Every structure is written in structure tokens, then in C-alpha cells.
Structure 1
Amino acid sequence: MSLQFKGVRGVSITSIRVPPAVENGSAAVVLDCEYSLAAHEKQGLVVQWFFRDHPVPVYQWIPGKRPQDNGPLKGRLNLEYRASEDPYHRHRALEIVKPSTDLGGDYRCKVATFDNEDTQNAHMVVYVPAATFTVGKTKPTISTVNVTCQVEGIYPLPQLELIQEDGPHGSRMAVKETTLFVSSRDGRYDATLYRVLEDKHLPVDTVFECLLSLPATEYQTVQKLSYQPGVTVSDAIPPPDNDIDKDHSHIWMSSGGGTSIPSSVSAPQHSLDSVVSSSDEQTLQNDSKSTDMWQSGTGRGIRAHETNIENGANNYFRLRILELLLAVVIVVKYFG
């Protein structure tokens, strides 16, 4: 806004120079407000800066006096900074010593005299680069792939885009129907973008590109991932089922009460399924040896000697019963 009296050229802001984006914690940054001033207005000049919606100025300078900082910028400015050697333009600018995210937003410069005033606004973003930025894949099923872009510790709210490249010389297109999750912590954002795709719809040589950018800044970075549709050994094998009660079909029991198991099985991680075709087999007899019989994929064993323990217990009780009957016969014979 500029107020002027008829026939008199009043104060007027000719340029406001505020960097649109600076990195958090970077070197000092200058916000400058250039103006033209009539000779008769110099004695009533006041330069003020306002920040966001704060009703009082965060900076004020009157020629001949020391600049004053206030509010969010208190202690954050270099009050000795000079934008010009002209005594009526010397301290018109702000020098923020160490910009941080809390100092990002709208700035308004106001130049006033006894007769009129002028104001102009500008916006500055203080951004934080990504702490981590990755693109990866998982195989939810044999025939699908989940491509995920993940960024952590960034500010302001980022933009993520997933792009599919069909081979080294193929077309590039944005992947649609993606899902985005965003959370915040300690004044920073974490974001995850993903999309599950079917292998049959992907070319042999597919490259996924994850594009990360910050609005109103020049900050932009890319991560790429090459993918060959199909099944790999690591992706195709499902995790083992650790519940032995769910499936007993993989437990071998011989008809004679013994257990046959390949000799190559020497640790819990070997399953019977993986060695069922082996010709080198041993037979575990019903003796006191504590050889293990393993269930497929569980790492849990059943001891073959448990049957021997049960048989021994039964024989012990039979012997005790016979001794008791013999004692009864003797008592009846001699005292009956």
C-alpha cells in the first residue's frame, strides 16, 4: 500500500528481496527492502518488518537509532548488518544469523514517514533435506510386487511420485492409484508411498523411479530400482509354519514302532521334505538313544526313545501287581 499527497512524491518500496527457500541451519540469510524516499520525508522515516500474523513488528529501525529485534526474531538477527552506507537506508534489511524451520513463512516490509507509507510481502521457506530416502520392493505373492518409496525426517510436507520406466529406451509414466502414508515427529515428516503391481503387466526390464521434491523449493532427488518380473528363490519361499500341531503329515513313523530318517538331518533347520529323496537312510530302533525326529519347517523334534520309557513303565507296574498277588496267596495259605 502506498499513500501519496498530490504533487508530492512519497516513500515507495521499489524492491523486496527475500530468498524463496533456504536450508535449515545454513549460513546467514538477508531479507532486503529497497525504497525511494523524498528529501522532505527523511526526518520521519521508520522501517519495520512483520512476520506471519504477529501484530507487532519483529524488527524496527529509525535512522539515528540502533535497530531493535522483537518476538520470534529476538536474538536471531545481526543488528550490525548494513545494507547501504546511506544513513537513511543503512539498516533497512534483516540478516537472520542461522535460519531454522520456525522462521519460515510470510515477511512484510513496511516503510513509513510522517506523510505516507508503503508495504510489500514475500514468502520464505526454510526446508530440511531428507534424513533417509529409499525405494525398495517386496513380493506379497509369487505374481505381484510391492514397490515402496520411503522418506524420513524431512520438512515441509514432501511430494512423492512413483514413475515406471519400460526398459532403458522405453516410455516413462507415472504410476497411478498409489497409497500414501504421512506422519510427523519432532517437527519433521515421514512419508511412505507404495503400489502393488502384477508381474504380468510389467515388461522384462522394468525400472521404478521414486521422485522426491519439496514445494516452493528447488530441492529434488531421485532413487531408482531395477526389477525383473518373475519368481526368485528368496521371494518365492514362504516363511515356515512354527506350529507343530497344524500339520502332522510330515512326521515319519515306521510300522514297527521305530522311525526312519535320513542321516543327513543333523540340525533342526533341515526339514524332512528337503531330504525325502535321499537314499542314505538309517533306522532308529526303540532303544534308549535320544535321536530326534524333525517335523518339516518347524525345528521341533519328537524323541524316539519316549516309546521305550512308556514300555518300561508298563512292565514295572505289572511286576508290582504280581508281587502283591503272591503276598496275598501266602497270607491266605498260612493264616486262613
Structure 2
Amino acid sequence: MNYSIHFVFLIVCSKCIAVNINRIVVPALVELGTESVILDCDYNTGEVPGPGLVIKWFFNGSTGLVYQWIPPLQPQVIGLLKGKVDMSFKISDEPLQAYRAIRIINPGTHLSGNYTCVVSTFIAEDSQTRSMLVYSPGKSFHFDQEKKYVFLVTLKCVAEYLYPRPVLTILSKGKPLERAITDMRMDSWGMYTVETTALIHDDDVTSPWEEFVCVLNLPLANYTTNRTTVYYPGLMPTHSASIEVKKPMEHQANSSTLRLECTLLVTLFLSIYFTL
């Protein structure tokens, strides 16, 4: 009978001092350039807080400890988040809740990943995980046309400084151009630059004009935007091509000037010769 009473007592006590995470708040999507984000871990420690309370945040697994708070000590920032956390930030005035959350300053794309909050005492432990993606919609995005030949136009769509991996598509009448070519590059910071080009023949345009659409998509960020350009078949080559055409004419003009100068010199010499 004594063992039964002891067992019931342990169950009641464990409920009094249990650790439970009510909710974890981690923004799923954060645009690059955002001033700050807050990761919160709302928990309770039962009626009687158990000894040895520790709050930890991990990045991408149990080996990526980035934040630790052992009340009543000051929190510690470790590893990836070092220098990126507002150490004066408090989410609550309660002594056992004050520094459960972390305020990250100017989050970069390298902070994209899974964040796990672990709350533990000497007796119990609880954890929850959420993911955060810091995305970049790019610094520039433009869609141009260049015509070097009478019946052909090149459509060029370029977007720079993107994250995560983008998809760039040129549409004609709502359908992707099958002959479009895409070139994608990634810099040392993990940012993408993508360029898609397509060559269009005037015979492919069956109306007086056609609107082409370039669609930029970041699938993981659920982000989409576009640019349009209108092409009129039959137009003459663009100005850049005209400059190339004029170069031989300029050379010819320079040659004519030389011949004229030579003729004047010969005439002057003969005039002086016959005078003598």
C-alpha cells in the first residue's frame, strides 16, 4: 500500500513540475532587408518550477546550439547567431520567462533553416521545431528586346541577387517558350543571378504585335513577379545595330578626306614647280 501511495505522489508531483511548450513562434518567410525578427518559445513549468531550468535554441539539429538561457543568469549567444541577437530584448517581465525569445537583427539568407526550442529541467524536457526562410526577391529585374537583324529579335530577361534558387520563364500567349535558354550563376554569398533569352522570328508573330511576359518565381518563398515587353514585327534593327552599320561609312568618309588632302598637296607642288 505504501508503494501505491508513493507512486501516486510521484505522478502528482510530475504534473506539478512538468515542462510543456505551449507554442513556438518562428516566421516562416522573411524578406531580406527586414530589420529584425523574433523567435519565441512560450512554455510553462507547472505549478512548482522544477530545478535546473534551461532554455536552448538550436539551428538545423541538436549540434547547432545558438542560444542558451539558464535563469537567473544572462542569456548566451553561440555560433551562427553570435553578434546577430539583441541581448537587451525581453519578451516578459516574469523572471522565468524574460529571455525565452530571441530577437535577431538584420537576418541574412544564411539564417534560413530549422529552429528548435528545447525547454528542460532536471526532471522533464519538451521541444518543438519550426522552419524559417530568409528570401531575396532581387535587386534588379528587367526584360528587354534587342533586334540586330530585320526578321529576328532577341528577348532577354535578367534578374539578380536572388535567394533561394529562382525559376525564370518567358511566356508567349500564356505558354512557356520551348526554345528559351536559361543561364544561372551563384556567387560566393549563395545569391543567384539568372538570365533567360529567346530568339523570335517575325513569322512566329501572327498579329500586328505580341506581348511577351517574363515570370520570376521563387518556389520555396511562394514569391512571383513579372515583366512584360511588346514586340512589333517588321521593325528595323535597334540603335545598337545601326551604330555597327555606320562604322564602315565613317571609315569611308575618312578615306575620302585623305584623298582630298593628297590632291591639294599635289596641285600646290605642281603650281610651285611650273612657277619656277
TM over 0.5: yes
The 5 Å alignment of 1:110-189 reads: 110-165=118-173, 172-185=174-187, 187=189, 188-189=191-192
Counterpart of 1:329 in structure 2 is none
What's the CA shift for 1:59?
0.5
What's the CA shift for 1:304?
6.1
Structure 1 residues 82 and 233, CA, compared in 2 at 3 Å: closer, same or farther?
Answer: closer
Which runs of no fewer than 5 residues in structure 2 stay unpaired? 1-9, 267-276
Distance 1:209 1:63 in 2: 57
Q: Which has the larger radius of gyration?
A: 1
What's the CA shift for 1:80?
2.7
Higher-strand-fraction structure? 2
Cα deviation digits, residues 214-256 of structure 1 (max 9, x gap):
333354332111111223254786933968xxxxxxxxxxxxx
Higher-helix-fraction structure? 2
1:68 lines up with 2:68 in the alignment:
no
Cα deviation digits, residues 117-153 of structure 1 (max 9, x gap):
2222222222334222110012253222221110123
TM-score, with structure 1 as normaliser: 0.64
Counterpart of 2:23 in structure 1 is 15
Distance 1:62 1:113 in 2: 10
1:240 lines up with 2:245 in the alignment:
yes
Measured on the aligned residues, the alpha-carbon RMSD in Å equals: 3.3
Counterpart of 2:88 in structure 1 is 80
Q: Which amino acid aligns with 1:65?
A: L
Q: Which amino acid aligns with 2:178?
A: K
SS in 2 for 1:63: coil
Which of 213, 218, 224 is the equivalent residue of 1:220?
Answer: 224
Between the aligned residues of both structures, percent identity stands at 31
What's the CA shift for 1:93?
1.0
Distance 1:212 1:225 in 2: 14
Asked if the contact 2:50–2:123 (Cα under 8 Å) also holds between the matched residues in 1, the reply is no
What's the CA shift for 1:64?
1.8
Structure 1 residues 56 and 109, CA, compared in 2 at 3 Å: closer, same or farther?
Answer: same
TM-score, with structure 2 as normaliser: 0.76
Counterpart of 1:198 in structure 2 is 201
Distance 2:171 2:21 in 1: 45
What's the CA shift for 1:89?
2.4
1:45 lines up with 2:53 in the alignment:
yes
Aligned residue-pair number: 253
Which runs of no fewer than 5 residues in structure 1 stay unpaired? 166-171, 244-267, 270-293, 311-336
